[in-house]
Amino acid sequence: MKRFKTLLIAAAAFAAFSSVAMADIVFGTDAAPYPPFTSQNAAGEWEGWEYEAMLGVCAEMNEKCTMVPIAWDGIIPALLEKKFDGIFGSMAMNDKRKLQINFSEMYYDSTTVVIGPKGGEKNFTPETFNGKTIGIQAGTSNANYVEKYYVPTGAIVKAYKGQDEVNADLLAGRIDFIVADAVALKPFLDSSEGACCDVLGAVPMDVAILGNGVGVGLRKEDTALLEKINAAIKAFANKGGFEALSKKYKLEGLMLTAAKG
């Protein structure tokens, strides 16, 4: 009996402790660093435009939110398995994902661009990539775009786990081009290593694949949370919150954020 009591106390203590540690809303994001949006510094603290946007949106909802890192290729199944409450991770709202999950209103939008060596062909067509190697991050809408438009015209695709590794192999000369989000590649192109390369131009739009911007991904049944987040995004936008963050991270003009009003 005594042992049972001790066990009970231990269980109660554990329950109390774990409920304290749990945040109200938990958002999942790519475990691989995705600067300037979401990345963890050496101390393991989150930073970036998107992390601060999440804090801003959560402040509007009066909720305490935390961010958890999840491997990008399994992030939607993990959401459906209720490992966390939503995806706050630069997820493009494309048609395929909309079949599985709901999206909030767009909170930012960025263009998909081709990055290559400085002075490369700016007026590229799908035929430009014939026999060339394109690096992409696996599981992204940009990857699907390359598969649909550039693989049929003879491009060779190399799929990497994280954007960092794609950039590293462009530097090494192992790939000719990167197809990625303009904003996400900005820190790399601004760095001394990235001096080799430049944005050659935006790819022609395909909304079905690339999606109409980035939204918070939520389970289909969580409609109350969806409405709450939509209202909070609107409120944060009206305050100029997103714009202030874009200014802070020097991303003005590179991305569209949720409109005011």
Partner 1 sequence: MRWEWLPKYLPNLMFGLGITLQILVISVVVGFLLAIPVGLSQVNGSRFSKTIAGGFCSYIRGTPLLTQIWLLYYGIGSLFPLIPGMRENYMWLIRLDAYWYVLLAFTLSFAGYEAEIMRGAFLSVPKGELEAARAFGMNSGKVLRRVWLPSAVLKVLPTLAGEVIGQLKSTPLIFTVPVMDMMSVTSKIRQDTYLTYEPLLFLAAIYLILTFFITRLFAYFESYIPVRR
Which residues between 215 and 234 bind partner 1 (CB under 8 A)?
A: none
Q: Which residue in 139, 208, 239, 243 binds partner 1 (CB under 8 A)?
A: 139
- If one asks whether residue 100 binds partner 1 (CB under 8 A), the answer comes out as yes
Pairing of strands 86-87, 197-202: unpaired
List Cβ<8 Å contacts ≥24 apart for 57-63. 57/107, 57/216, 57/229, 57/232, 57/233, 57/236, 58/25, 58/232, 59/236, 60/231, 60/232, 60/233, 60/235, 60/236, 61/25, 61/228, 61/229, 61/231, 61/232, 63/24, 63/25
Q: How far apart are CB 228 and partner 1 at their closest, in Å?
A: 25
- If one asks whether residue 168 binds partner 1 (CB under 8 A), the answer comes out as yes
- If one asks whether residue 250 binds partner 1 (CB under 8 A), the answer comes out as no
Q: Which residue in 28, 36, 116, 135 binds partner 1 (CB under 8 A)?
A: 135
Distance of CA 33 to the CA centre of its chain: 10
Q: Which residue in 10, 14, 81, 252 binds partner 1 (CB under 8 A)?
A: 81
Q: Which residue in 1, 43, 172, 224 binds partner 1 (CB under 8 A)?
A: 172
160-172 exposure pattern, b = at least 16 Cβ within 10 A, e = fewer: bebbbebbbbbee
Q: How far apart are CB 6 and partner 1 at their closest, in Å?
A: 38
What are the CA-CA distances from residue 104 to residues 35, 90, 143, 165, 198 (Å)? 22, 12, 23, 30, 32
Q: How many CA atoms lie within 13 A of 10 on its CB side?
A: 6
Among the residue ranges 11-19, 57-65, 78-86, 118-126, the one whose residues contact partner 1 (CB under 8 A):
78-86
Which residues between 181 and 210 bind partner 1 (CB under 8 A)?
A: 196
Rounded to the nearest 10 degrees, what angle do helices 49-61 and 241-248 cross at? 160
- If one asks whether residue 165 binds partner 1 (CB under 8 A), the answer comes out as yes
- If one asks whether residue 77 binds partner 1 (CB under 8 A), the answer comes out as yes
Among the residue ranges 13-21, 32-40, 68-76, 227-235, the one whose residues contact partner 1 (CB under 8 A):
68-76
Nearer residue to partner 1 within complex by CB, 16 or 195: 195
Q: Which residue in 158, 189, 194, 212 binds partner 1 (CB under 8 A)?
A: 158
- If one asks whether residue 169 binds partner 1 (CB under 8 A), the answer comes out as yes
Nearer residue to partner 1 within complex by CB, 171 or 256: 171
Distance of CA 29 to the CA centre of its chain: 7
Q: From CA 134, how far away is CA 154, in angstroms rounded?
A: 11
Q: Which residue in 44, 119, 131, 173 binds partner 1 (CB under 8 A)?
A: 173
Q: From CA 107, how far away is CA 100, in angstroms rounded?
A: 20
The residues of the shown chain that bind partner 1, judged by CB under 8 A, are 73-74, 76-78, 80-81, 100, 133, 135, 138-139, 158-161, 165, 168-169, 171-174, 196
